[in-house]
Amino acid sequence: TQKDHSDLASFQSERVCVFGTGDMGRSLGLRLLQAGYGVVFGSRRPHSSSSLIPHGAQVLGHAAASQSAHLIFIAVQREHYDFLVPLANQLKGKVLVDLSNNLRKNQYPEANAEYLQSLVPGAEVVKGFNTLSAWSLQNGPSDANRQVYICGESVEAKQAVIAVAIKLGFSALDQGFLSVARELEDFPLQLFPQWRLPLRIAIGLSAAFFFYLLIRDIIYAYVTQSKDISFRIMVSLANKVCPIVSLIMLSLCYLPGVLASFLQLYRGTKYRRFPDWLDRWMLCRKQLGLLALGFAFLHVLYTLIIPIRYYVRENRTTQFDTTTAWRGDSYLSLGILGFGLYVLLGITSLPSVINTLSWREFSFIQSKLGHLTLLLCTAHTYLYGWNRFLSSSTYKWYTPPGYMLCLVLPSVVLLLKLLLITPCVDRTITRIRQGWERGADQRNPKDSQPLIP
Amino acid sequence: TQKDHSDLASFQSERVCVFGTGDMGRSLGLRLLQAGYGVVFGSRRPHSSSSLIPHGAQVLGHAAASQSAHLIFIAVQREHYDFLVPLANQLKGKVLVDLSNNLRKNQYPEANAEYLQSLVPGAEVVKGFNTLSAWSLQNGPSDANRQVYICGESVEAKQAVIAVAIKLGFSALDQGFLSVARELEDFPLQLFPQWRLPLRIAIGLSAAFFFYLLIRDIIYAYVTQSKDISFRIMVSLANKVCPIVSLIMLSLCYLPGVLASFLQLYRGTKYRRFPDWLDRWMLCRKQLGLLALGFAFLHVLYTLIIPIRYYVRENRTTQFDTTTAWRGDSYLSLGILGFGLYVLLGITSLPSVINTLSWREFSFIQSKLGHLTLLLCTAHTYLYGWNRFLSSSTYKWYTPPGYMLCLVLPSVVLLLKLLLITPCVDRTITRIRQGWERGADQRNPKDSQPLIP
Amino acid sequence: TQKDHSDLASFQSERVCVFGTGDMGRSLGLRLLQAGYGVVFGSRRPHSSSSLIPHGAQVLGHAAASQSAHLIFIAVQREHYDFLVPLANQLKGKVLVDLSNNLRKNQYPEANAEYLQSLVPGAEVVKGFNTLSAWSLQNGPSDANRQVYICGESVEAKQAVIAVAIKLGFSALDQGFLSVARELEDFPLQLFPQWRLPLRIAIGLSAAFFFYLLIRDIIYAYVTQSKDISFRIMVSLANKVCPIVSLIMLSLCYLPGVLASFLQLYRGTKYRRFPDWLDRWMLCRKQLGLLALGFAFLHVLYTLIIPIRYYVRENRTTQFDTTTAWRGDSYLSLGILGFGLYVLLGITSLPSVINTLSWREFSFIQSKLGHLTLLLCTAHTYLYGWNRFLSSSTYKWYTPPGYMLCLVLPSVVLLLKLLLITPCVDRTITRIRQGWERGADQRNPKDSQPLIP
């Protein structure tokens, strides 16, 4: 216990300095205090600032404050960095952590951290913590933003920052030299980079099918029968576009996996990289799937309000026959079960749910249940078409209806998948995934380990 | 590697003591063992307890156990603390961690930890870990409850506890002196403190509109036409109250942000605090929005079951005209799209989803998409009213129908927001948010950093 | 600051070795580099591998690499472990971390880590990190998979591995000796172990009620009236099975809690373990509830599409009377409110939402709101039956309809719960939960602490 005591005493002396008493500086200071650090704020007007800073911290002039600690957090906007120039001498050998962010990308020719380094060449600048908000600093790290990215030239300086991060409850990742700073500064400014491609695909498909169906349904009726049914745009047309886009995007979500399997089969190895376009496609499968779910959700709502629209209700023939009833009920039932699985897939895409799944559980849901969903939704669409595939009146102006077009891709994906799960193909694929290579000398030990099998 | 070895040897000797072999004590002990600590349990009846304690731990009498470690966790109920009095001598200089909780607020005149300190004045009492359940101790920290709050007089003692917390996978936050203990003890007893105000608003609005519509619809029909349509309370009336309350609460969710912007514009600076009522309002925006979503969800369900209620189905005129169809379909379509966005806002409010968003992404969704949702839902309601605004038969007993009343607030919010996004106002607001102050000398460096811009 | 500097210098020298340059080895190496470690890869063909390994790491032959560090991660498949045999001398005293996994349970007679130990008896083998995927190593730990399980014979070796885990942002849990390795290796291979029992119950109940209703509804109509209504299987029958199974499973979710309370009441203490079957039942309550929600969701969808099925729409008598309207509307309204609460329960079961709740909040929602949900859904079903309970035509072939059968269990659960919340029983239960024991001498201090009360 003697030893414990002396260890504790050394803890107590750790002190860090924070320049800047804005939101960010104050939140960081509070958190540092709570983690057991001594905190000294540096301020231009130490007397007027002392009321602002968290209880337990000291506030001094910049020069005095910088003498009290080895590590200095710079929580000041870049425009005001020039106040550091006269302090260059005092800051020699200190670790300066640049927390700053910009308002937009490419606002300045060089990264803020590089600019800071050029102003105070004797100090060791580390970029870091800028991806956190004052809010998350105050309230503590949660799941995803537990990670703090840092970069800088000096390994020692980065180690000192990593040590502080760990004590604050974060986990710091060294991203390399100071030249990476620009990337880190762009990070909080990014707006859904992984969603862009899937969103563009969704918008493109929606627009294409909207105009296709506008011509086939509404303009056709106007031209051939002089009937104005333009009001159908709002619900009927929307309820055709939504399921079509949903089904196509769901199959786009499973197509790259199937293609990748065939590529591995053709190459006879898993040790060659996929082409870039396939890699990028595979990385946005989750987003494709979630957008597909969104369209399916709208389709469900648009379908369920049909009976409310009494003002356009047509007098359907109430002639009853068992075949029609079987077909209609199966069509509805498959749709409901498909949507149920769809929602299940969506829920298991939530970050906190994924985290509770083992690798095998995740792959079971996203692959097995995913393909089952695709199968149910495709069957649902085939039943919708039913015997109209063969009737010539379906092909107005010689064009097939939307649901036929949208069946092509899912049918192809399902057929390819069916091929892949035939025993002989499946065996080869499994062996390749376990590291087997066609034509390679199998006696050589491979320095490799599959992702958990 | 020589050095590594000696480091490891010092690890091994760390030993902690746990008093109490109940659920909490055992779970804590197990976790400590798993993190590599030596654990000694203190028990009144060491022999009979030895079967209960986790494998690998020792169990001794209280006095003997207390000799074996510097840090002692007190996992015993406050009622039984008096057994510590005779041990006061052995406990001198030890760190005692009080884990206890009470059954209700203000159960005792002073905090348990303060009471413990008064019983064993020579020890250094630290309050902490009490916000964790035995369950979360055993299963490991997850997201939000990774944070362990501690308080106590001695910095050294708190540092020792922080060190243990970090090794167990938690992140400890020092909340100050022992006088804060009562707050920490009240923490696990709190019941949705941030939901109270929004819930009261929701209940108040629901009750007010329920009675208003009860009079206008059901009592009016009874008085003027002697018709008993009281059954309408269950579905029709509910389906009027739900959307009204939902829309009002959604606009209450966006009103404070708009007010805050105008206040900043008026004051010409962002460096003055908002009035307290505005602060409190802004802090419960998320709860207001989620309650609004709940009411919208009920409204959707109540609407969709309308056609099932064949027993009250009125024979609507099936007279068809294109204007009615356009109006009706647009009304439904706007409602569906609005609800779709509503659900999207709800999903992005989930803690695990928020964590994956950058600040800019979060603000895009909650502000841009949020106002779009408000716009769609308001337009949906206007279309519902349509031309009835001008017909005098709408105003039974000279009162306007519910949907008219509920349109006032969202219309105001949208108008104010429209003003704020006109280029000239928007430019000023942006400059203020970047730290510009009207009338201030702009050459002065400001010690401030905006939340990631 | 002198002291700080020397501390930092010692950081820099920490070096670890990774054998294997596959996905797992490379991801681990990258993460180690980012956490500030020096990383040396061991490879059979160091020259050809040097292009693969992350920037900043060294690659050497196995023998040379093993000399450079005390800790060696073995990221190689078990089939290739024999390359370590000739290195046994160099590996003496080193810590070898076995990361490997198998393709299926019981693939080999002994655990991989035990096999490794037998090949290199002089080394200290630690099993660990195998529950992580290469992906999660690269992207950093998130919530649940922050936990790394390790086991091994040497406490020193395990401490060294724990220290690395903490620096990588994980939290390591020592599970005991190397004999536990098999369990850790089976962990990533498990497929929803806690869902098995609830899924079997759900499937069993669905099948039983499906055949029961098939006979009562469809075969009965065929036999007695020669009517073929087999198409009703797809929607009408499904819409009877779903709500029945949902209600039964919801009551199965609350029954064990009620039974446990009565058991505690009967025994007069909370300090005796529940029987195993009750423990297991209580541990799968969440899964039972979520499956019940799934069935309720399908029931809602199946109900809402009823009016779309114009081809089977019967001409219901449109005879209107207020009692029928009250009953019908109440039935629907209770169903909607019940489903709303159901969904709320589901949302609060999400891991990230649970984490934000205090213990008292969680128990308020899952217990109070849960029983309210059960009450609403049971009342909804009673209203569905209405006056048909007494009409003999309801009992075709002397069998009661499905909804009557499914009312038994929830009614029992609700009655028992009602008993438990009567003041006198409630007082006794509360005292027992606080540690009171019937017949025990209450003056004895108890070494126990309830889970946060």
Q: Which residues contact C409 (CB under 8 A, 6 or more apart)?
A: C247, C248, C251, C252, C255
**pLDDT for res B4:** 42
Question: What does the pLDDT look like over B216-231, one tens digit per residue?
Answer: 989 998 999 888 888 8
Cβ distance of A156 and C5 shorter than 8 Å: yes
Comparing CB atoms, the residue among A320, A333, A355 nearest residue C145 is A355
Cβ distance of B333 and A24 shorter than 8 Å: no
Candidate from A48-57, A132-141, C3-12 with smallest mean pLDDT: C3-12
Residue with the bigger pLDDT between A430 and B293: it is B293
Confidence of residue A387 (pLDDT cuts 50, 70, 90): confident
Calculate how close chain A gets to B436, using CA atoms only, in Å: 12
Contact between A234 and B325 (Cβ < 8 Å) = no
Instruction: Evaluate the CA torsion angle C432, C437, C443, C449 in order and state its sign.
Output: negative
Spell out which residues of chain B touch residue C352, defining contact as CB-CB under 8 Å. Answer: 143-144, 350-353, 355
Residue C40 — φ and ψ, nearest 5°?
A: -120, 120
Cβ distance of B171 and A141 shorter than 8 Å: yes
Name the helix (H) or strand (E) containing B124.
strand B124-128
Contact between B339 and B296 (Cβ < 8 Å) = yes
Confidence of residue C447 (pLDDT cuts 50, 70, 90): very low
Spell out which residues of chain B touch residue A25, defining contact as CB-CB under 8 Å. Answer: 447-449
Residue with the bigger pLDDT between B445 and C262: it is C262
Question: What does the pLDDT look like over A268-316, one tens digit per residue?
Answer: 887 778 899 998 998 899 999 999 999 999 999 999 998 888 776 655 5
Contact between A96 and A181 (Cβ < 8 Å) = no
**pLDDT for res B93:** 92
**pLDDT for res A443:** 43
**pLDDT for res C84:** 92
Q: Which two tokens stand for residue B244?
A: 């009204």
Instruction: Find, among C377, C383, C368, the residue nearest to C340 by Cα.
Output: C377
Instruction: Find, among B57, B22, B55, the residue nearest to B41 by Cα.
Output: B57
**pLDDT for res B1:** 35
Comparing CB atoms, the residue among A36, A56, A236 nearest residue B162 is A36
Cβ-Cβ contacts under 8 Å between A and C: the total is 207
Contact between A238 and A331 (Cβ < 8 Å) = no
**pLDDT for res B453:** 33
Comparing CB atoms, the residue among A172, A434, A444 nearest residue C103 is A434
Query: Distance between alpha carbon C380 and the CA centroid of its chain, in Å?
Result: 30
The one-letter amino acid at A99: L
Spell out which residues of chain B touch residue A233, defining contact as CB-CB under 8 Å. Answer: 329
SS3 B447: coil
pLDDT, chain A, mean: 85
Say yes or no to pLDDT of C238 above 60: yes
Residue with the bigger pLDDT between A394 and C411: it is C411
Cβ distance of A77 and B325 shorter than 8 Å: no
Say yes or no to pLDDT of A446 above 50: no
Q: Which residue of C has its CA nearest to A318?
A: C311
Alpha carbon separation from C217 to A329, B449, C207, C225 (Å, rounded): 17, 71, 15, 11
Please, what is the Cα angle at A189 between A185 and A194, to 5 degrees?
Answer: 110
Calculate how close chain A gets to C132, using CA atoms only, in Å: 8
Spell out which residues of chain A touch residue C22, defining contact as CB-CB under 8 Å. Answer: 435, 446-450
pLDDT, chain C, mean: 85
For the ranges B145-159, B207-221, B345-359, the maximum mean pLDDT occurs at B207-221
Cβ distance of C326 and B135 shorter than 8 Å: no
pLDDT, chain B, mean: 85
Confidence of residue A319 (pLDDT cuts 50, 70, 90): low
**pLDDT for res A320:** 73
**pLDDT for res C13:** 52
**pLDDT for res A139:** 65
Question: What does the pLDDT look like over C162-210, one tens digit per residue?
Answer: 888 888 878 788 888 899 899 888 888 888 888 999 999 999 999 999 9
Spell out which residues of chain A touch residue B450, defining contact as CB-CB under 8 Å. Answer: 22-24, 77
Spell out which residues of chain C touch residue A163, defining contact as CB-CB under 8 Å. Answer: 11
Contact between C101 and C188 (Cβ < 8 Å) = yes
Question: What does the pLDDT look like over B168-225, one tens digit per residue?
Answer: 878 788 888 899 899 889 888 888 888 999 999 999 999 999 999 999 989 998 999 8
Residue C39 — φ and ψ, nearest 5°?
A: -120, 130
Cβ distance of A70 and C9 shorter than 8 Å: no
**pLDDT for res A249:** 97
SS3 B15: strand
**pLDDT for res A73:** 95
Comparing CB atoms, the residue among A142, A188, A190 nearest residue B355 is A142
Cβ distance of A340 and C102 shorter than 8 Å: no
Cβ distance of C305 and A453 shorter than 8 Å: no
Cβ distance of A447 and C9 shorter than 8 Å: no
Question: What does the pLDDT look like over B393-408, one tens digit per residue?
Answer: 777 788 888 889 999 9
Cβ-Cβ contacts under 8 Å between B and C: the total is 204
**pLDDT for res C145:** 62
Query: Distance between alpha carbon A170 and the CA centroid of its chain, in Å?
Result: 21
Comparing CB atoms, the residue among B23, B82, B234 nearest residue C329 is B234
Alpha carbon separation from A311 to A227, A439, B285, B333, C313 (Å, rounded): 17, 70, 39, 15, 19
ipTM of the complex: 0.84
Instruction: Evaluate the CA torsion angle B242, B244, B249, B251 in order and state its sign.
Output: positive
Say yes or no to pLDDT of B102 above 70: yes
Comparing CB atoms, the residue among A318, A325, A445 nearest residue C83 is A445
CA A186 – CA A105 distance, rounded (Å): 6
Spell out which residues of chain A touch residue B336, defining contact as CB-CB under 8 Å. Answer: 298, 301-302, 305
Spell out which residues of chain A touch residue C143, defining contact as CB-CB under 8 Å. Answer: 143, 351-352, 355-356
Instruction: Find, among C256, C242, C254, the residue nearest to C202 by Cα.
Output: C242
**pLDDT for res A219:** 92
Cβ distance of C322 and B77 shorter than 8 Å: no
**pLDDT for res B312:** 67
Question: What does the pLDDT look like over A2-35, one tens digit per residue?
Answer: 444 434 334 445 899 999 888 888 889 988 988 8
Is A224 at the interface with chain C, CB within 8 A?
no
Is C314 at the interface with chain B, CB within 8 A?
no
Comparing CB atoms, the residue among A159, A359, A360 nearest residue C11 is A159
Q: Give percent above pLDDT 70 in chain B.
A: 90
Over residues A50-79, the mean pLDDT reads 88
Cβ distance of B297 and C343 shorter than 8 Å: yes
Bridging pattern class, strands C15-19 and B171-174: unpaired
Comparing CB atoms, the residue among B155, B307, B450 nearest residue A23 is B450
Cβ distance of B159 and A8 shorter than 8 Å: yes
Q: Give percent above pLDDT 70 in chain A.
A: 90
Is C155 at the interface with chain A, CB within 8 A?
no
Spell out which residues of chain A touch residue C189, defining contact as CB-CB under 8 Å. Answer: 358, 360
**pLDDT for res A148:** 84
Confidence of residue A451 (pLDDT cuts 50, 70, 90): very low
Residue with the bigger pLDDT between B331 and A10: it is B331
**pLDDT for res B331:** 93
Please, what is the Cα angle at A315 between A310 and A321, to 5 degrees?
Answer: 125
Question: What does the pLDDT look like over C420-434, one tens digit per residue?
Answer: 999 999 999 888 877
Is A70 at the interface with chain C, CB within 8 A?
yes
For the ranges A120-129, B7-16, B101-110, C304-313, the maximum mean pLDDT occurs at A120-129
Over residues C131-141, the mean pLDDT reads 70
Cβ distance of A340 and C294 shorter than 8 Å: yes
Question: What does the pLDDT look like over C196-209, one tens digit per residue?
Answer: 999 999 999 999 99
Confidence of residue A197 (pLDDT cuts 50, 70, 90): very high
Spell out which residues of chain B touch residue A355, defining contact as CB-CB under 8 Å. Answer: 352
**pLDDT for res C294:** 97
Is C193 at the interface with chain A, CB within 8 A?
no
Residue with the bigger pLDDT between B388 and C370: it is C370
Residue with the bigger pLDDT between B95 and B362: it is B95
CA A297 – CA B342 distance, rounded (Å): 13
Interface test with A, best of C168, C183, C229, C352 (most A CBs within 10 A): C352
CA A399 – CA A384 distance, rounded (Å): 18
